[in-house]
Amino acid sequence: MFTRIISLIIKEFKQVFRDPRMKFTLFVSPVVQLFIFGYAATMDITNIPTAIYDLDNTKQSRDVIRLFSYSKYFDIQRYLQEESEINEVMNGADIKGVIKFNRGFAEALTGNKTAHMQVIVDGTDSNAAQIILSYAGTIMADYNYKMLQERSDIYLKRKDIYPQADLRDRQWFNENLYSKNYFLPGRRWFGRRIRC
């Protein structure tokens, strides 16, 4: 049985190398695809056009807005004044997401309650919408952690009386987590090797 398989493989290789067009298909096409996926196609979503609808307009809501605007993922382009503007900007397709703060956001935070905000995302591209929501979730998780640290510092007065583990992560070979680096292994950035 194995001899038949081996003879079939040998026959197919002979056939492939006999036809010059097949050589091109087998050897040139993968290299071209590697460069296209590495340089042209990217799955990173950055500078998402975003609008803000802030009914609370407090220091806490502005702190959250600042976190979103300082990230490389969200580009705050508009501040909305009325609820009806949300439909207008989302239907216009210029804005991909709206961050909405309800009244009482800061009051709930200072009163040790759960403060509610909303991220409205254009769901026509479901993959992009999921990525945008995960970016927003990460930013809010960082904000919650920062607030928890501040509260614990207030209650305990000193940082060194409670033990804590400080996790510092580092990505090897692709420190910025660019998706094109997954397609081009061992690539160099402008003559600089990627640190190991």
Question: Is the whole-model pTM more than 0.85?
Answer: no
- Catalogue the E-assigned strands of the chain: 48-54, 74-79, 97-101, 117-121
Q: Are 54 and 61 in contact (CB under 8 A)?
A: yes
Q: What is the CATH number of domain 48-161?
A: 3.40.1710.10
**Of 103, 85, 102, residue with least CA distance to 94:** 85
* Residue range 60-100, pLDDT digits in tens: 999 999 999 999 899 999 999 998 899 899 888 788 999 99
Segment 29-65, tens digit of pLDDT: 888 888 777 777 667 788 999 999 999 999 999 999 9
Q: What's the residue count for the chain?
A: 196
| pLDDT bracket for residue 158 (50, 70, 90) | low
Q: What is the mean pLDDT of residues 155-164?
A: 58
The pLDDT value recorded for residue 123 is: 85
